[in-house]
Amino acid sequence: MPDIRAFFLVIGFAVTRETKQVELTGAEIFVRSLVEQGIDYVFGYPGGAVLPIYDALYQQDELEHVLVRHEQAATHAADGYARSTGRPGVVLVTSGPGATNAVTGIATAYMDSIPMVVFTGQVPTALIGNDAFQEVDSVGITRPCVKHNFLVKDVNDLAVTIRKAFYVAMTGRPGPVVVDIPKDVAAARAEFHYPKRISMRSYSPVTKGHPRQIKKAIDLMLTAKRPMLYTGGGVILANASSQLTELTKLLGYPLTNTLMGLGAFPATHKQNLGMLGMHGTYEANMGMHHCDVLIAIGARFDDRVTGNIDKFCPTASVIHVDIDPASISKNVKVDVPIVGPVDQVLKEMLKVLKESKQKPDAAAQKAWWKQIEEWRAMDCLKYDRDSELIKPQYVLETLYDVTGGKAFVTSDVGQHQMWAAQFYKFDKPNRWINSGGLGTMGFGLPAAMGVQIAHPKETVACITGEGSIQMCIQELSTCKQYGLPLKVINLNNGCLGMVRQWQQFFYDGRYAMSYMESLPDFVKLAEAYGHVGMQITKPEDVEPALKEAFGMKDRLVFMDFLTDKKENVYPMIPAGAGQNEMILV
Amino acid sequence: MRHIISILMENEAGALSRVAGLFSARGYNIESLTVAPTEDESLSRMTLVTTGTDEVIEQITKQLNKLIDVVKLMDMHEGPHIEREMMLIKVRAAGATREEVKRLADIFRGRIIDVSDTIYTIEVTGTSEKLDAFVGAITQTDIIEVVRSGVTGIARGERALHV
């Protein structure tokens, strides 16, 4: 009996081969699948296990491959591409060290819910588990920091797996997906069919918020005496900035953005109180602490936002809109949970609000805004404008002026990141690109490459420090190869500023390892890579230098600003304190 | 509180480690875990026993549901349910204790499934509590080996976990 069945299978296979299209190699299927998926750029680095795929890339011209200098940079560049466009970033790296180098970038994307598909080469299936050359268990290593991952063991599954990978990465709460492709799978042949639509019985993201919950939320919002909108990266990921802006203006309530949410509502609008949290503004944090209805949208009550959770928003009823049910009531108990896509929920909220006969309590709002304006008058971001040293805040304010607030800004991690978030006023979404969740130093420069590649005509600035920039500085070479005219703003204070600040505040000034000795000459370094280098040492030179640099449209300019070594980021909520217990200047 | 969570998941390599990894990464307890294929060979059914406050259990079920390989899950404690665990226990049974062990096995509706001159191997099925009680009833020094399957469970009546 089995013999007969096998016989028919062989016949069936032969017939299909004749009547259907020719077979492609796994590598060709990879290329065709990405093209079908609408992908234009792949960020990557070749190696033994991905040689068949690179050979297929060589023989086509629909996908452009960007060669980075380190796999970590490939993931950050794809991440920057994704954050600035809303489209998924794509990475291709080899097995073993290629995959492990990519892990930092994958974890970075995971923490900030960035859609990304990372293809890792793998040793041939017959060698898996044999401790082969350049073998690691990529699926095992990446499992805790991906939304999902796949090992493709049969070339016949490759196209559908790639389709699933993009589907999972881009829908629901987005995130990175890893697809591990053994070398023999890339070389084997199969028919190519890329499914246009896909469904998975084990994965069906919510597409609609519950109407009754939405109605309940609007009712609660309209009874508020001291309301506060608190919005995060989820609004930007859902492309819901216009709905949020309309709703906020319609309600007339104060709003604060998280670090990830900057730009979702115009920073220059008077209803925007700026960023909240550990280095948020006084008015935003005080507003949070005293509000009676908190409207959280696409934000996840991160510890850097809440401070001491026991002291968080003690008098507030909480409405929380999020695509991820697991984000709701994870850290803070929510009174009106709404699980759904932020854009759809906000549209529905607008509809319900416009139909509602009830209006916000005008007298209560007047009193609440009076209080907020008093907090705002504290001018918590003030700094010494007469200093003879370059104040980092001044560089960023001037950068904002010189670029007309229109630049795409990436940042690394540390003090410069916080100052950028405080002083560069983002009026549009997708323009502020930083590693918020994982806090990955080395993110800024490669992310800026991804942004510039996605937006060749736009101004892209990378705000960094002399610590962070050295974690991925090799990418200056990639920038040269692809002619990326980034502007690198290096706020060089000669120390790991945020570490030093904590050591000053909480470790009695024992500055363990927070000083950077033997720094390179950044001007010469930039020149060595074929770029323009500048060093700025005096406050009066800041503006002319920025103007000159941003005037050079086709060159990468590395600007090394020697800034005040002792400047700290204020306000600051110390660990364990409540939002109303800020350290001010 | 103790909860029995039943999970239907894709019968794929790595699915088990996704669940185990989730519990270790987020610091949740696993008291027992058992997994086997179902009548539909593309699905595995996992039963795990965990403890935590209501908030923790809520997070556990949400995080499990987020795993792409998880098709469906059920917290057995949301309704009436039956739980069973199977234990094989090898006990010294010589001389005077031989009768006593046999009697205890009968009381617990255990079955003696292997016999030698000095040893009984007994199969006992029931709730974890019942198995604990049986182990407690046998003189500790007479116990040679205990193996337990981990808890499985099923809802009573119409309520069912299926695709």
**With an 8 Å Cβ cutoff, is B96 touching chain A?**
no
Q: Residue B83 pairs with which residues in a beta bridge?
A: B153
Is residue A19's pLDDT more than 60?
Answer: no
> Which 3 state secondary structure label does DSSP give B127?
coil
Q: Which of B9, B25, B55 minimises the CB distance to A144?
A: B25
- pLDDT one-digit tens code per residue, A464-492: 999 999 999 999 999 999 999 999 999 99
A329 contacts in chain B (CB < 8 Å):
55, 58
Q: Which of B10, B59, B70 minimises the CB distance to A330?
A: B59
Which candidate, B100, B90, B85, B84, places its Cα nearest to that of B146? B90
B16 contacts in chain A (CB < 8 Å):
none
* Alpha-carbon distance A201 to nearest alpha carbon in chain B (angstroms): 6
Amino acid at A259: L
A140 contacts in chain B (CB < 8 Å):
14, 17
Q: Compute the average pLDDT of residues A381-396.
A: 97
Q: Which of A148, A201, A326 minimises the CB distance to B63?
A: A326
Which candidate, A167, A174, A177, A179, places its Cα nearest to that of A83? A174
Sign of the alpha-carbon torsion through A487, A489, A490, A492: positive
**With an 8 Å Cβ cutoff, is A200 touching chain B?**
yes
The position carrying tokens 């070479």 is: A477
Which candidate, A188, A245, A233, A196, places its Cα nearest to that of A25? A188
Alpha helices in A93-240 (DSSP H): 97-111, 138-142, 158-170, 183-187, 211-223, 233-237
Going residue by residue through chain B, which has 163 residues, state the pLDDT in tens, using 9 for 90 and above. 999 999 999 999 899 999 999 999 999 999 999 999 999 999 999 999 999 999 999 999 999 999 999 999 999 999 999 999 999 999 999 998 999 999 999 999 999 999 999 999 999 999 999 999 999 999 999 999 999 999 999 999 999 999 8
**With an 8 Å Cβ cutoff, is A329 touching chain B?**
yes
What is the percentage of chain B residues whose pLDDT exceeds 90?
A: 96
**With an 8 Å Cβ cutoff, is B23 touching chain A?**
no
Residue A2 pLDDT level (bands cut at 50, 70, 90): very low
CB A27 within 8 A of CB A55: yes
Neighbours of A146 (CB within 10 A): 25
**With an 8 Å Cβ cutoff, is A203 touching chain B?**
yes
Q: Which residue of B has its CA nearest to A167?
A: B68
Long-range contacts, B54-59 (Cβ 8 Å, 24+): B54/B1, B55/A329, B56/B28, B57/B1, B57/B3, B58/A329, B59/A326, B59/A330, B59/B26
CB A329 to CB B55 under 8 A?
yes
pTM score of the predicted model: 0.94
**With an 8 Å Cβ cutoff, is B16 touching chain A?**
no
Active site residues of A: 71, 133-134, 183, 498
Q: How far apart are CA A34 and CA A269, in angstroms?
A: 41
**With an 8 Å Cβ cutoff, is B21 touching chain A?**
yes
Q: Which residue of B has its CA nearest to A205?
A: B66
CB B69 to CB A202 under 8 A?
yes
| Concatenated DSSP letters of B149-162 | ---EEEESTT----
Is residue A1's pLDDT more than 50?
Answer: no
